[in-house]
Amino acid sequence: MAFAVFEPAIDDEPVQPWQYDRSRAPVAVKVLVAGGFGVGKTTFVSSVSEIAPLRTEAVMTQASVDTDDLSATPEKNTTTVAMDFGRVTLADDLVLYVYGTPGQERFWFMWDDLVRGAIGGLVMADTRRLRDCFPALDYFESCGLPYAVAVNHFDGSHAYEPEDVREALTIPEHVPVLVMDARRRETVVESLLMLVRHALDATPE
């Protein structure tokens, strides 16, 4: 199945053809957004979602001091404990359900449930803590899910080229890599379009 993919409108709640023409019910597909703790997954989902995003955030307590590294994100005071969820329309007949996974190791058991039915995964990376995205890379590799890498550029961090990140993480040449900003909707949409195209190329059925 081929989709005519386009960038959705920036306006809130844009009216889509399938919403007033019930004969054109859209195909709903699912993707995961994974990565290390504090890499920007919740911001990513919130930036792109057409609906009020579902967030399962809990306030961080002293119990997490020994396990959660806040050196790169000292102002972070909440964490995702189950998932983030949002929806974005990428084409007249294609609606994307975006699930953000929890980043801490103690919540990784959720990944096995969230990955069911997904067509692809987006691994978010922070160049200040590249090693934190290895578990997500290994997970998608092990389950054979097509994936792409989105480098979330933080203010004050060094700007690296995508190929530099590819080399540092030893990412195969066929896997797309781009630099984006999870706060900017247009770059989030670009990364999702990249993932969907890659997933369709990898598993056209």
pLDDT of residue 124: 97
Residue 102 tokens, joined: 């929890």
The CA-to-CA distance between both ends of the chain, in Å, stands at 7
Beta strands in the chain (DSSP E): 27-35, 54-59, 78-91, 94-100, 118-125, 147-152, 177-180
175-198 mean pLDDT: 96
Place of tokens 């964490």: 79
CA distance 99 to 114: 7
H/E run at residue 137: helix 134-143
Q: What is the DSSP letter of 197?
A: H
Residue 126 tokens, joined: 């922070």
Q: Which of 135-139, 141-145, 153-157 has the lowest average pLDDT?
A: 153-157
Angle in degrees, 0-180, between the axes of helices 185-202 and 41-48, rounded to the nearest 10: 100
18-26 mean pLDDT: 57
pLDDT of residue 157: 81
Give the highest mean pLDDT range of 3-7, 53-57, 65-69, 166-170: 166-170
Which domains can be identified in the chain, with CATH numbers? 25-57+79-202 (3.40.50.300)
Mean of pLDDT over the chain: 81
Q: What is the DSSP letter of 9?
A: P
pLDDT of residue 77: 52
CA distance 57 to 187: 24
Rounded to 5°, the CA angle 31-185-97 comes to 20
In which band, very low, low, confident or very high, does the pLDDT at 60 lie, cut at 50, 70 and 90? very low
CA distance 24 to 20: 9
CA distance 54 to 180: 22
SS3 179: strand
23-49 mean pLDDT: 89
